[in-house]
Structure formats: C-alpha cells, structure tokens
Amino acid sequence: MESIKKMDFSYFPGCSLATTAKESNQSLMKVCEKLGLNLIELEDWNCCGSSSAHSLDQKLAFRLAARNLSLAPSDRPLLVMCPSCLHRLKLAHKVISENPEARAQEEARWGRPIDPGLKIMHFFELLSGIEPSRLEAALVRPLGGLKFVPYYGCMLARPPALRKERNYHGLIEKILSSLGAESLFWAFSARCCGTFLSAARPDIAVPLVNEIIGGAVKAGAECIVTACAMCQLNLEIRCTLETRIPTLHFSEILALAFGAKGSKSWFKRHLVDPMPLLKAKGLI
C-alpha cells in the first residue's frame, strides 16, 4: 500500500464511539491530529445495523449500511473504527459494487449516488500504511516497558466473502513495541468478547470474559489493549474476578505515547481505573 501522508478521510464513528466509548473517539482524534490526518465525520451517519439487524432482517441490515455508503463523498476514503461496523459496511458495499441492479435500487432509495469504488478502511489499515519512522517521530512519551496483551476479539475473523482482504494481526504488538511497551504472548487475543450476549445473556458472557481476563493476568500483563470499543466495554463490565487489570483502547495508548493532552478525562470513564498503573509507569 502507498504510504499515507496528510490526507482527508470521511470518518464513521459508529454508535459505540459516539456514546459509551467517547474516550476512544477523542483519543483517535488526537492520534490523527498528531499524525497530520484529517477526519471529517460522515454527515448524518446512522447505525450500521449491528448484530441485531442481520439477525432478524437481512434487507434492513443491507439498507442501513447502504444509507451510510450513500452519504460518503467519493473523493476520500471512508475510515471506520469499529470492526463490526466495518464488516457490515464492507459486505453491503461488496453487493453494491458487484450488482448494478442493487446499486441502482439503493441510489434510488436514498436519492444519492453510491461510489462502487469507494475505499472503506479500518483504522488499522490506515496505521499500517504509515511509515514506522513517522510513528516514532511522533513519540513524545515512551511507554516505559508497559506490559500488555493485544486483544483483537473477532476482528481478525471474517466471513469467507471478505477472506481475501488483508489481515492486520500483529499490528498492535508491532506498533506499541516500537513505542516502548512490552507485548506478551497469550491465548485469547482472538477470542470473541461475547458481543450482544453481554447485554442479552450476561450468564454466558461472564465466564467468557473471566477466561479472557484471567488469561491476561496469568500471562503477566499489566493491561489489555483492545482493537474494538465494544470488546473494551464487555471486558470491563462483565469481569467478576477479584484480580482485574485495566483494558485500554488502542487509540488511548497511542495518544498517550504521542503526548496528547486530555487523557485524564478518558481514563476517568473506565470502570477499571487505569490511573494507578499509568502513574506507576510514569505515563501520566
């Protein structure tokens, strides 16, 4: 992929980053600012449909995603932060780009053109296109050997239709190690967090989350770094273990390393307080 310099992106935050995970949204903005990337929020974006739409009504799921695609200007890539929103938008875009009839139907429904060549990318794809030297140049506060385990959840697992897309396994480890943190091996980096069962069936989500956090503690981690805001929330709210460790959004720890201001207001929103750890490590 060509290297990314200063660029404009349409940005789809998704419901989690707009509400429960505002700290991830705010820290992402800081990271992009530090890297000279300009995020322009997608005008009047709607929920991608999440798990519920495709579970109950396929057409609804497709149309909710299609409306967002119809709102995206064609002159810049659409950046998505939530792995689940990314799948919904990409799957809908695949249908639209491969099926002219479906495209015409959705363009008529929304009264707006949909670019079949629209580039939809995750934050990880963006990061992987940035030269390591640029990330290191942005480093203000080295991460002081902070021991973390990377948590991707189901982000790396994709439906067969998207199987040929590039995979960003290892990106969290690679980047945070270059910024001075220490990545540890563990067994649960790609274990599903429980998603909506955390709300609908906490009895199923609790043992799953406990297994994940227990695994991180056993590996000697001081914190977990997540790729997805919903995973971050589930790991915080459904752990019933006595020994708990903080779960940080990837964007938060990046912003911290880049010396962004305002980080205390993000960490106040965590249910497992990361401040004692970050203070002990001299990061705050």
Partner 1 sequence: MQNNASSSSLIDLTTCDRSFRHEVNERSGENVGLCWHCRTCAGGCPYVKAMDYHPHAVFRLVQLGLRKEALESSTIWICVSCNTCSIQCPAAIDIPAIMDALRHMALAEGVKIAQPEIVKFHEEVLGSIERYGRTHKLEIMMRYKVRMRQWFQDMDLGLKMLARRKLDLKPSKIDRPEEVSRLFTGSAEDGKH
Tell me: does residue 187 bind partner 1 (CB under 8 A).
Answer: no
Question: Using an 8 Å Cβ cutoff, are 283 and 143 in contact?
Answer: yes
176-194 per-residue burial string, b: 16 or more CB within 10 A, e: under 16: beebbbbbeebebbebbbb
Cβ-proximal residues to 57 (8 Å cutoff; 6+ apart), any chain: none
- Of residues 259 through 278, those in contact with partner 1 by CB under 8 A are 268-271
Three-class SS state of 130? coil
Residue carrying the six token digits 């994940």: 212
Residue 178's identity, in one-letter code, is S
Strand partners of residue 12: 80
From 123-131, 134-142, 173-181, 193-201, span contacting partner 1 (CB under 8 A) = 193-201
CB closer to partner 1, 2 vs 44:
44
What single DSSP character describes residue 111?
T
CB closer to partner 1, 147 vs 270:
270
From 24-32, 54-62, 144-152, 168-176, span contacting partner 1 (CB under 8 A) = 54-62
Count of residues in contact with partner 1, rule CB under 8 A: 60
Tell me: does residue 59 bind partner 1 (CB under 8 A).
Answer: yes
- Of residues 78 through 107, those in contact with partner 1 by CB under 8 A are 95, 101-102, 105-106
Tell me: does residue 161 bind partner 1 (CB under 8 A).
Answer: yes
Tell me: does residue 140 bind partner 1 (CB under 8 A).
Answer: no
Which residue stretches of the chain are H helix?
Answer: 14-18, 22-34, 50-56, 58-70, 83-98, 100-110, 123-128, 132-137, 171-178, 197-200, 202-218, 229-237, 250-257, 263-267, 275-280
CB closer to partner 1, 35 vs 69:
69
Cβ-proximal residues to 236 (8 Å cutoff; 6+ apart), any chain: 247, 270, 271, 272
Structure tokens at 185: 């091996």
- Of residues 200 through 239, those in contact with partner 1 by CB under 8 A are 200-202, 204, 208, 233, 237
The side-by-side arrangement of strands in the sheet containing 147-151 is 182-183, 147-151, 223-226, 247-249
CB closer to partner 1, 181 vs 213:
213
Q: Which of 33, 74, 110, 170 binds partner 1 (CB under 8 A)?
A: 110
From 11-19, 25-33, 134-142, 254-262, span contacting partner 1 (CB under 8 A) = 11-19
Q: Which of 47, 130, 219, 284 binds partner 1 (CB under 8 A)?
A: 47
Shortest Cβ distance from residue 63 to partner 1 (Å)?
5
Q: Which of 1, 3, 133, 159 binds partner 1 (CB under 8 A)?
A: 159
Q: How many CB atoms lie within 10 A of CB 132?
A: 10
Tell me: does residue 284 bind partner 1 (CB under 8 A).
Answer: no
Strand partners of residue 226: 151, 249
Tell me: does residue 195 bind partner 1 (CB under 8 A).
Answer: yes
Residues of the shown chain interacting with partner 1 in the complex, contacts defined by CB under 8 A: 15, 18-20, 22, 44-47, 49-60, 62-64, 67, 95, 101-102, 105-106, 109-110, 153-154, 156-161, 163, 190-192, 194-197, 199-202, 204, 208, 233, 237, 268-271
